[in-house]
Amino acid sequence: MNTSAVVPQSRYLACEGREIHFMDWAPAPGVAESVPVIAWHGLARTGRDMDALAAHLSALGHRVICPDTIGRGFSQWSPKPETEYCLDFYARIATALVDQLRIERFEWVGTSMGGAIGMVCAAGPLQGRIQRLVLNDIGPQIADAAIERIRSYAGNPASFDTVGELEQYFRSIYKPYGFLTDAQWTLLTESSTRRLPNGRVTPHYDPAMVMQFTQHPDDYELWDAYDRIDVPVLCLRGADSDLLLADTVEAMRDRGPRALVVTIAGCGHAPALNVPEQLDLVHRFLAGVH
pLDDT (tens digit per residue) in 47-69: 999 999 999 999 999 999 999 99
How high is the pLDDT of residue 246? 95
Residue 1: predicted pLDDT = 42
pTM here is 0.96
- pLDDT of the residue at 3: 44
Mean pLDDT by 10 residues, the chain (290 residues): 69 98 96 96 97 98 98 98 98 98 98 98 98 98 89 88 98 96 97 97 97 95 98 98 96 98 97 98 93
Name the superfamily (CATH) of residues 9-286.
Alpha/Beta hydrolase fold, catalytic domain (3.40.50.1820)
Buried b (16+ CB within 10 A) or exposed e, 108-125: bbbbbbbbbbbbbbbbbb
- 257-260: list long-range contacts, CB under 8 Å, 24+ apart: 257/133, 257/226, 257/229, 257/230, 257/231, 257/232, 257/233, 258/233, 259/135, 259/233, 259/234, 259/235, 260/232, 260/233, 260/234, 260/235, 260/285, 260/290
- The closest of 137, 202, 139, 140 to 167, measured between CA atoms, is 202
Read off the DSSP letter of residue 78. P
Q: What is the pLDDT of residue 5?
A: 59
pLDDT tens-digit series, residues 69-83:
999 999 999 999 999
CA angle 247, 252, 257 (to 5 degrees): 175
Q: How far, CA to CA in Å, does 47 sit from each of 97, 103, 135?
A: 14, 18, 16
Q: Which residues contact 152 (CB under 8 A, 6 or more apart)?
A: none
CA 18 to chain centre: 19
